[in-house]
Structure 1
Amino acid sequence: MSLFLVNRYLGEEDDGSTLKESRSQALLAKLQQKAKERQKKSLTEQTEHQHEEQTELQDVKKKRKADEDSVQEPQRNKKRKSKVVALHSSDADNHDEPAEEKQKKKKGANEKQKKKKKDKSGSSAEVVSNTPVSGGDAPEDTVGEEQAETEKDSPKQSSQKTSAPTGFTVLGGFESKPVQKVHRVLPQWLAEPDVIHRDIKSNLVPICDISGLSAQLLKKLHNNGIEHFFPVQAEVIPAILESAQQGLLIGRGGYKPRDICVSAPTGSGKTLSFVIPVIQVLMERAVCEVRALAVLPTKELAQQVYKVFTSYAEGTALKVVMLAGQKSFATEQASLSDYRGGVRRSVADIVVATPGRLVDHINKNSGLCLEQLRFLIIDEADRMIDSMHQSWLSQVVNAVYGSGSGSDAMSMFRRTEPAYITAASLSPPQMPLQKLLFSATLTQNPEKLQQLCLHQPRLFSSIHSHSNTTAAAPTHKQDRFDFPQGLTEYYVPCTLSKKPLLILHFILRMKLSPVLCFTNSRDTAHRLYLLVQLFGGIQVAEFSSRLSPGERKKTLKSFEQGKIQLLISTDAAARGIDISGVKCVVNYDAPQYIRTYIHRVGRTARAGKAGLAFTFLLRVQEKNFLQMVVDAGSPGIQKQMVKPENLRSLEVRYEQTLQELADVIKDEKR
């Protein structure tokens, strides 16, 4: 037993080294198995991660492709499809690279995997240290490559988006760009007018310096006390005479003469600037036909222009006729034409008319023949454009060119409505219809001016700013106008109940006379007239549509003669009427529109003289009104305060007058 025990003990000592080796091999086997499990787990995670990224990239590319298909052209679309096919066929790690580079990368990856397997079988320490690297670096590399590729693709995509055709609507989540404001761009003739000097007194031109005027007209000007032309007249008269230097059939260079537009301040002499050249051109007439037609918005303005035409046509063979409704239709018809040898012939050379009456004579075939019309004068053109709903201009044009389709269509002097200028349209020559537009507030809206069908228009204006050539400044929400140079503007803050007291204060205390007072309605004008009349001490009259044409004419004459201290008017007297001696204009009611304001205050400070303009403003009106006047180009409107104590001496009599006024209005309503 002892030997057996000894031998057994000795045998265990001999086998100790072999046991250690077997234990180390078992431990190594376990470690290798764990490493393989880790490697398999990391590979599965890597493939899953790559698969998710690949599907996300494919989804993004599909969306991009769908967006680009709606924008890009078919050729680009085909190229894009070929790229997408190449992307699907390639691996996730190198989906945007050429085929050769992909194969090289695949070989390199296989070699790396082989080397890693050899290293794993070498020693346990190396395997343990290498397994996390092999399991973690591969996805990081592939992710980095994919990010780099997506960054490369993103600028390409953005460049393709920005280079999309401008004529198509681009859809998608693109960055919003600021929309540029559309600025007004004026035609060249509006943006670059012939500039007229604003200062009248320092730019007077002797009448002898204007060539083309006959001795008879120069003598008539001298007799009327006119030795110098105003700047507007010195510019416009030669321009109209130049258009008729070659006779009535053709203009300068054998072409149709250009239409002329004049925008100048009130009282700058616009009426004489078309009366003188028209009479000069028509003086040596061959046949008595209507060759000049002046259209004006109101009867009073038509009467004023008729007087000027008549005074300068006196002593010539020209006859001037007015069609404004101040006489009966039969009387006006008889003044236009008469029967000679069974044929109706015209006896008028120049016709001054209002739109409504003019249309009546055209439609009723009263003998008003416009087939030889040479000049169409439109005074207060901006208001005439606003009244185009009467279609008076289209009826005038039809009356002028109506004979082109009649029995006389083959005559030498037939007239056809002008179209494009061609060699055929210029032969044989026909008498052109030249339009002459005049206004103190001529619009710069090309859309409105287009209604007049102007032919190569030429603009004379005292207003010119270089900003108008490209775009209207954002602060200028309205057109800018030129104010009379001698005008001083004031505004008077007040309450509604104090307005009548202020009028009385201006005349009785401040001794302003004569005063032209404007209201916004004829009822207001009538009530104010009755109140001032009942108060006493002031010669007052009203001027509105309540009066007949004869009464209005008589009232204006008395006001000009100084018999009336205060004339209370609606806007009927605001347009163009030249009332001499008006030193002060009062806007009892603030005008709503800047054009109305300009024409109202333009009744004073005429022909370079000085004048005052007061506007009564309620507190709620001040901000908008002052901004409107400043935007229109006013040189400055000053604040004029009237202290309450200055009105107290008038308040007692004023309260009594209000009670009397209430009784008078009740009696009128019965």
Structure 2
Amino acid sequence: MALFQVNRYLGEDEDGGISKESRSLKLLAKLHEKAKEKQERFPEQTLQLSDKHAGRLDGKRTRNADYDRSQEINKCKKRKSEAIKSVLDHEIHHEPAEDEQKKGVKQNGQSVSGSPVNSPSETPVTGKDEEDKRTDCHIENTKTSVLSGFTLLGGYENKPVHKVHRVLPQWLAQPDVIERDIKSKLLPISDMGGLSVLLLNKLHNNGIQHFFPVQAEVIPAILESAQHGTVFGRAGYKPRDICVSAPTGSGKTLAFVIPVIQVLMEKVVCEIRALAVLPTKELAQQVCKVFLTYAEGTTLSVVMLAGQKSFAAEQASLSELRGGQRRSLADIVVATPGRLVDHMNKNSGLCLDHLRFLIIDEADRMIDSMHQSWLSEVAKAVYRTRGPEKMSIFRRIAPAYVTAASMSRPQIPLQKLLFSATLTKNPEKLQQLGLHQPRLFSSAKPRPILSDPHERFDFPQGLTEFYVPCTLSKKPLIILHFILGMKLNPILCFANSRETAHRLYLLVQLFGGVQVAEFSSRLSPSERKKTLKQFEQGKIHLLISTDAAARGIDITGVKCVVNYDAPQYIRTYIHRIGRTARAGKAGLAFTFLLGVQEKKFLEMVAVAGSPGIQKQIIKPVNLMSMEGRYEQTLEELAAVIKEEKKLTR
């Protein structure tokens, strides 16, 4: 009813279609007109009425003005964002040509939509046009100041984004290059300066007349870093850490054994000054044997911590109590990571306060598998403090920035020596080792930019690679053909699991005619040691192994390596084939490939830098003579495996 009265007052009906906002404005205007008329008729009363209601009307005007102002601000913000967007779109996309801009206008003055096109002189100036003019000015200003006054540097062109290449640190990008030709680049042992007569005689007695290239480069570098003794490095500074990446069988073990013994052989007080850490027991045994060979005749004592003896026996070989104090009995310790940490945690007398050399062999595997837990324990033991009164004057502090204060007191430097055939070039992984100004010796071609995600390695020089296309059922027959038909023995055969290795071992043993053995974690350490010795003596024709024997083990007399199961990773392949063609000798490597494996494997080997892998086809006619016996052997194998499962339950 009230709405009806208002409409009648305004001269409109109920269905006038007028909006609420317009109705209120018209009502306000009507009231102003009525008040003006009343003021003209009764000026005194109007003055009193205006005084009485002035505050109320002013309040209404203020609220309306605030509302209009807020609406205007929102509209300005909206126009500003639209202007910014249009500027960016205008600058990203090219300006349309002049005739393209006029494409929507016809010659007769009609637009595409049919509305007339006004000339500039005929166009009426409205509030909307004023806003457009202000917006145009704002667009021009936005080119230099877009967002809250921030100036945009450079153009708005849609430039192509260039890929950023990862750049190697200088020591990785520019290593000391080792000569790859082992046979022609030999250095006579007499030409190596800094070696004692005792070591030269030892080398001569062991049949070594020349040093390989890796030995000729690395041995002088280690000797130079310790030419002022074990307390000071060159010029009184801490010596640089050394990393060596060279092919398998290139003589890396001797490259650190000879200089370490040369530096330590003149020491009088027995303390652990060299620690060599290796991933497996077999590798620890091999390195310990080399240390013992060249330490013979000196005062140096070599101890191995690899679980070959009981914990108590190893503890007794490390130290002894004399006069109420514990004294070291070892100068050089060769250990596996797990056993090393056990001795440090149980305070068995393993004191590393005087450690000078930390040797990490097969460094890439040590980085990947141990997650640096053992290395952090070694660092704690090396840099531990016992209070200023009980410390030696040659106390050692944790590595920090070199300042005058840090160099004011002499301390025994800890130098890390890393060796591997597949040393990673990933700076993030190497950073975990905490290397000090490292120096890299590498036989691989340097690459300053990591544009290629695949790593390349050096392959043994005398190696010839083959791959054999086959089916899963024919793989055992081909192995037998290699030994019985082609007379390739001894053969070191690799399988991906100990179950596969054991099954193949049983199959060949049941077939007969071949001296076969297995080498895996199924055997005890003493059994594995005995098996390797028999294989080296030629008593075993086929040694079927897991990757336990693929890392660094020097097995003499291996003429042929067979990958019964294709390796999944290139590093595994490099270490497997490195068991043959060692020290520049000739060797063969065969890889059995199923149809689905062939393409991926060949690409992996080619990218890794293989000089070339050849295809070897075994004709079915060569296997026919063994197929009858093979089928019978499979039935016998099923019965044997069934019996073994019963015994293990």
Matches of residues 151-190 of structure 1 in structure 2 within 5 Å? 162-163=154-155, 176-190=158-172
> What's the offset of the Cα at 1:645?
1.5
Structure 1 partner of 2:305: 323
1:73 to partner: Cα distance: 4.7
Q: Counterpart amino acid of 1:326?
A: Q
Q: Distance in 2 between matches of 1:272 and 1:204?
A: 15
Task: Report the AA paired with residue 610 of structure 1.
Answer: A
Q: Which moved more, 1:244-253 or 1:271-280?
A: 244-253
Which residue, 328, 343, 346 being the options, matches 1:346? 328
Which residue of 194, 198, 213 maps to 1:212?
A: 194
- The structure 1 residue matched to 2:622, chosen from 646, 649, 655, is 646
Q: Distance in 1 between matches of 2:117 and 2:280?
A: 98
Partner of 2:535: 559
Residue identity matched to 1:433: L
Return the offset for 1:50: 7.8
Secondary structure of the structure 2 residue equivalent to 1:402: coil
Aligned to 1:48: 123
Q: What amino acid sits opposite 1:443 in the alignment?
A: T
Separation in structure 2 between the aligned mates of residue 628 and residue 245 of structure 1, nearest angstrom: 44
2:182 to 188, 194, 200: 200
Per the TM alignment, residue 256 of structure 1 is displaced from its structure 2 partner at its CA by 0.6
Aligned match for 1:572, one of 538, 548, 567:
548
State how far apart, in whole Å, the 1-side matches of 2:301 and 2:476 are: 47
Alpha-carbon separation, structure 1, partners of 2:142 and 2:405: 57
Tell me the distance in 2 between the aligned counterparts of 1:268 and 1:325: 28
1:668 aligned residue: 644
Distance 1:42 1:257, change over 3 A: closer
* Amino acid aligned to 1:338: E
CA contact (8 A) 1:378 1:438 kept: yes
Deviations along 1:518-569, one digit per CA (max 9) or x if unpaired, are 0000000000000000000000000000000000000000000000000000
Is 1:263 paired with 2:254? no
Paired AA for residue 162 in structure 1: G
Q: Quote the offset at 1:210 in angstroms.
A: 0.7
Q: Report the residue type matching 1:463 in the other structure.
A: A
Structure 1: distance between partners of 2:604 and 2:144 = 51
Distance 1:42 1:181 in 2: 50
* 1:446 paired to 2:462: no
Aligned-pair Cα RMSD in Å? 1.9
Aligned partner letter, 1:581 = G
Amino acid across the alignment from 1:487 = L
SS at 1:628 equivalent: helix
Within 5 Å, which residues of 2 pair with 1:8-23? none
- CA gap 1:162/1:275 in 2 versus in 1, 3 angstroms: same
Superposition deviation, residue 68 in structure 1: 5.4
271, 275, 279: which one pairs with 1:293? 275
Residue 532 of structure 1 pairs with residue 508 of structure 2: yes
Deviation at 1:245, TM superposition (A): 0.6
Distance in 2 between residues matched to 1:313 and 1:521, nearest whole Å: 38
Deviation at 1:60, TM superposition (A): 4.9
Q: Name 1:458's counterpart in structure 2.
A: 439
Q: Structure 2 CA distance, aligned partners of 1:286 and 1:383? A: 35
Q: Aligned residue for 1:372?
A: 354
Contact in 1 for aligned 2:279/2:362 (Cα 8 Å): yes
Q: CA–CA distance in 1 between the matches of 2:404 and 2:386?
A: 19
> What residue is the counterpart of 2:373 in the other structure?
391
Q: Residue 184 of structure 2: SS of its match in structure 1?
A: helix
Report if aligned partners of 2:462, 2:587 keep a CA contact under 8 Å in 1.
yes
Question: Matched residues in 2 for 1:237 and 1:596: separation?
Answer: 28
- Report the alpha carbon displacement of residue 189 of structure 1 after superposing the two structures with TM: 0.4
Shift of 1:344: 1.2
Deviation at 1:618, TM superposition (A): 0.9
* Contact persistence 1:408–1:414 (CA under 8 A): no
TM-score of the aligned structures, taking structure 1 as reference length: 0.77
Aligned counterparts of 1:417 and 1:338: Cα–Cα separation in 2 = 28
Q: How does 1:32-181 map to 2 (within 5 A)?
A: 46-48=121-123, 56=132, 58-62=134-138, 69-71=145-147, 73=149, 162-163=154-155, 176-181=158-163
Cα distance in 1, alignment partners of residues 519 and 140 from structure 2: 75
**How many Å apart are 1:367 and its aligned residue?**
0.3
Is the 8 Å Cα contact of residues 486 and 605 (structure 1) preserved in structure 2?
yes
Alignment partner for residue 635 of structure 2, among 646, 659, 663? 659
- 1:418 offset after TM fit, Å? 1.2
1:21 corresponds in structure 2 to none
- Kept in 1: contact 2:372–2:432 (CA 8 A): no
Match of 1:624 in 2: 600
Percent identical pairs in the alignment equals 75
Among residues 603, 606, 610, which one is paired with 2:586 in the alignment? 610
Say which of 306, 316, 332 aligns to 2:288.
306
Partner of 2:261: 279
Q: Deviations over 1:32-76 (max 9, x none)?
A: xxxxxxxxx9988733288787755544554565675445756x6
Consecutive unaligned residues in structure 1, runs of 5 or more: 1-40, 77-159, 164-173
In structure 2, the partner of 1:504 is 480
- Pair 1:532–1:406, CA change in 2 (3 A): farther
Q: What does the per-residue CA deviation read over 1:240-266, in whole Å, with 9 as the maximum and x for residues that have no partner?
A: 000111111111121110000000000
Residues 72 and 480 (structure 1), Cα distance of their counterparts in 2 relative to 1, 3 Å cut: farther
| TM-score, length of structure 2 as denominator length | 0.79
The aligned residue for residue 317 of structure 2 is 335
Q: Is the 8 A contact 2:468 2:615 kept in 1?
A: yes
CA contact (8 A) 1:200 1:607 kept: yes
Flag the structure with larger Rg: 1
Deviations 1:104-138 (A, max 9, x none): xxxxxxxxxxxxxxxxxxxxxxxxxxxxxxxxxxx
Matched, 1:637 2:613: yes
2:318 partner letter: L
- Compared CA separation, residues 624 and 42, structure 1 to 2 (3 A): closer
Tell me: CA distance 1:639–1:388, structure 2 relative to 1, closer, same or farther (3 Å): same
Q: Residue 246 of structure 2 contacts residue 442 of structure 2 at CA under 8 Å; is this kept in 1?
A: yes
Q: Is the 1:404–1:415 contact (alpha carbons within 8 Å) kept by the matching residues of 2?
A: no
Contact 1:404 1:414 in 2 (8 A): no
Q: Which has the higher helix share?
A: 1
**Per-residue deviation, 1:179:** 2.4
**1:239 aligned to which of 213, 221, 233:** 221
> How far apart, in 1, do the equivalents of 2:348 and 2:598 lie?
52
Give the 3-state SS of the residue equivalent to 1:529 in structure 2: helix
Hey, what's the Cα distance between the residues in 2 that align with 1:612 and 1:560? 17
Deviation at 1:624, TM superposition (A): 1.1
Contact 1:404 1:416 in 2 (8 A): no
Q: Which amino acid aligns with 1:184?
A: R
Describe the superposition over 1:469-514 as per-residue Cα deviations: whole angstroms up to 9, x where unpaired: 1x223xx321111000000001111111111111111111111000
1:472 pairs with 450, 458, 461, which one?
A: 450
